[in-house]
């Protein structure tokens, strides 16, 4: 196992000033995992050691790292226009990018509101849902429904509808009037399924129970990740999303798909909505829109939602919401170049074509001791490990450390689950390499 690295010339100082997010700071600062450079499928440490990126950064660098067309577009934009006010003014690329995103989104999901992250996208979508009912004279629709094990970022809206206990328990009472659907995962019925499990569509019917409890006239929206990513890769059961859509339609409830992870090719389509043939009322996106190169997020809304706001005096903003950096010029330039790359290199189609190979490679770890379940969908796999007694999450943490320091592979962890979600440019040989390394890592931590 790697030793603390503080004496390395590459470590800039005692590391104390930076409070590292979502990271055990004391352990990290004893043995930091520093990344100085990246290209295509690899990260490089300050010492120049290559680390194969099994996670597309944080599920975001779908086009691979430091791709020349994206880098060039950002450079050109920085020279041309650094910033334009996001309110009352706009720059041309924001309209261009919105049209390109609308063209990729299904049906009449044609209006795009920009922000800077997935968390902001979620809070924006929840606010639009509340305001939409309000402007239509249904102001009693204030309840928001999320799902257990859901992850919707870290804003107060997102953690309220989210369902991961550690993200909620220290932060007070959260938003009032939120309820949750049950999680869709059941190991007994679903273990070692490739793609969407057969069991579990009926869990969508729990929404009828919530409607009966609260009354539809009080419910504004339901938000779910089509594939729950951050909780450990939970593909939706076959038929589940269709059922959720039907129940929402029956009761006039908006359906929001949080596609911050599933957007831009992760599941072999521009959006998971397309893969599942289910059209939500809003889609949240972030991450893959710029392949992680510049922060950007947004909400795609159905035309009818936007239209409902287009009333009142014409000199007054229709929606009192926005961010200083909404549709930032650098992000728009990066987004346009990224969408060009996805199109020109057919990366969504590539993800779809590689899915069976990826699933087979992941499932080859089924017999590794300590592996309790493996789930795959698109270019994504979740591998559940048996916990050490009284130390939930420690084995996965050690796997991540060992992967980085000893095997040269980046692994994402959540609880006791390893998530593998490489950039969509991953080659078949690299898929094999990722899972060979992960198998060695798991054996080493058992």
CB of 68 to ligand PLP, least distance (A): 25
Q: Which is nearer to ligand PLP, 257 or 306 (CB)?
A: 257
CB of 159 to ligand PLP, least distance (A): 10
CB of 311 to ligand PLP, least distance (A): 31
Q: Which is nearer to ligand PLP, 45 or 230 (CB)?
A: 230
CB of 405 to ligand PLP, least distance (A): 24
Give the tokens for residue 185: 């995962």
Q: Which is nearer to ligand PLP, 153 or 197 (CB)?
A: 153
Give the tokens for residue 221: 């929206």
Taking each helix axis from N to C end, the angle separating 329-344 and 68-80, rounded to the nearest 10 degrees, works out to 150
CB of 89 to ligand PLP, least distance (A): 25
Q: Which is nearer to ligand PLP, 45 or 262 (CB)?
A: 262
- Say how many C-beta atoms besides its own lie within 10 A of residue 75's C-beta: 12
What are the residues facing 180 on neighbouring strands? 146
Short-list 149, 173, 170, CA closest to 160: 173
Give the tokens for residue 430: 């690299």
Torsion angle of C-alpha atoms 224, 227, 230, 232, degrees rounded to 10 = 130
Q: If residue 224 lies in a helix (H) or strand (E), which one and from where to where?
A: strand 219-224
Q: Where are the alpha helices (DSSP H) in 364-407?
A: 394-402
Rounded Cα gap, residues 13 and 405, in angstroms: 20
Distance of CA 446 to the CA centre of its chain: 29
CB of 314 to ligand PLP, least distance (A): 34
Q: Which is nearer to ligand PLP, 51 or 122 (CB)?
A: 122
Rounded Cα gap, residues 282 and 259, in angstroms: 10
Sign of the C-alpha dihedral computed for residues 157, 160, 164 and 169 taken in this order: positive
CB of 56 to ligand PLP, least distance (A): 11
The residues binding ligand PLP (CB under 6 A) are 117-119, 122, 151-153, 225, 229-230, 258, 260-261, 286
Q: Which is nearer to ligand PLP, 64 or 118 (CB)?
A: 118
Q: Is 281 helix (H, G, I), strand (E, B) or coil?
A: coil
68: left (phi > 0), else alpha (psi -120 to 50), else beta? alpha
CB of 283 to ligand PLP, least distance (A): 11
Q: If residue 247 lies in a helix (H) or strand (E), which one and from where to where?
A: helix 240-251
Q: Looking at beta carbons, which residue is closest to ligand PLP? A: 118
Q: Which is nearer to ligand PLP, 57 or 403 (CB)?
A: 57
Sign of the C-alpha dihedral computed for residues 117, 121, 123 and 124 taken in this order: positive
Q: Which is nearer to ligand PLP, 298 or 403 (CB)?
A: 298
Q: Which is nearer to ligand PLP, 129 or 361 (CB)?
A: 129
Rounded Cα gap, residues 147 and 215, in angstroms: 18
State the Cα angle at 396 between 392 and 398, rounded to 5°. 110
Rounded Cα gap, residues 418 and 415, in angstroms: 8
Q: Which is nearer to ligand PLP, 260 or 426 (CB)?
A: 260
Distance of CA 117 to the CA centre of its chain: 10
CB of 262 to ligand PLP, least distance (A): 8
CB of 225 to ligand PLP, least distance (A): 5
């Amino acid at each position: 196992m790697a030793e603390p690295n503080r004496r390395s010339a590459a470590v800039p100082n005692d590391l104390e000033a930076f409070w590292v997010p979502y990271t055990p700071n004391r352990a990290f600062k004893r043995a930091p995992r520093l990344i100085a450079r990246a290209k295509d499928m690899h990260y490089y440490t300050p010492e120049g050691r290559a680390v194969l990126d099994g996670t597309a950064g944080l599920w975001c660098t779908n086009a691979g790292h430091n791709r020349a067309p994206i880098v060039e577009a950002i450079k050109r934009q920085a020279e041309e226009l650094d910033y334009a006010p996001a309110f009352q003014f706009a720059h041309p690329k924001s309209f261009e990018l919105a049209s390109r995103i609308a063209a990729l989104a299904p049906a009449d999901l044609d209006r795009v509101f920009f922000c800077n992250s997935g968390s902001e996208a979620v809070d924006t979508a929840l606010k639009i849902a509340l305001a939409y009912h309000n402007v239509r004279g249904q102001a009693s629709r204030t309840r928001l429904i999320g799902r257990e094990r859901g992850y919707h970022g870290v804003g107060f809206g997102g953690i309220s509808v989210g369902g991961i206990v550690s993200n909620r328990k220290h932060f007070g009472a959260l938003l009032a009037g939120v309820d949750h659907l049950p999680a869709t995962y059941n190991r007994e019925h679903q273990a070692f399924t490739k793609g969407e499990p057969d069991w579990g569509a009926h869990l969508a019917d729990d929404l009828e129970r919530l409607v009966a409890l609260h009354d539809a006239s009080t419910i504004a929206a339901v938000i779910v990740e089509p594939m729950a990513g951050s909780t450990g890769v939970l593909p939706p059961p076959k038929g589940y999303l269709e059922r959720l859509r039907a129940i929402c339609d029956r009761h006039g409830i908006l359906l929001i798909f949080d596609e911050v992870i599933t957007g831009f090719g992760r599941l072999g389509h521009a959006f998971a909505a397309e893969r599942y043939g289910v059209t939500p009322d809003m889609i949240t996106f972030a991450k893959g829109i710029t392949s992680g190169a510049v922060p950007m997020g947004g909400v795609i809304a159905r035309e009818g939602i936007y239209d409902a706001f287009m009333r009142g005096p014409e000199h007054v903003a229709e929606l009192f919401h926005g961010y200083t950096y909404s549709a930032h010029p650098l992000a728009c330039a990066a987004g346009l170049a990224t969408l060009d790359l996805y199109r020109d290199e057919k990366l969504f189609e590539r993800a779809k074509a590689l899915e069976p190979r990826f699933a087979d490679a992941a499932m080859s770890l089924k017999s590794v001791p300590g592996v309790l379940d493996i789930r795959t969908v698109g270019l994504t796999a979740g591998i559940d490990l048996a916990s050490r007694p009284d130390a939930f999450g420690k084995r996965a943490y050690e796997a991540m450390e060992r992967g980085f320091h000893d095997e040269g592979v980046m692994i994402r962890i959540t609880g006791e689950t390893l998530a593998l979600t490489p950039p969509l440019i991953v080659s078949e040989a690299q898929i094999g390499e990722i899972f060979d390394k992960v198998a060695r890592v798991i054996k080493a931590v058992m």
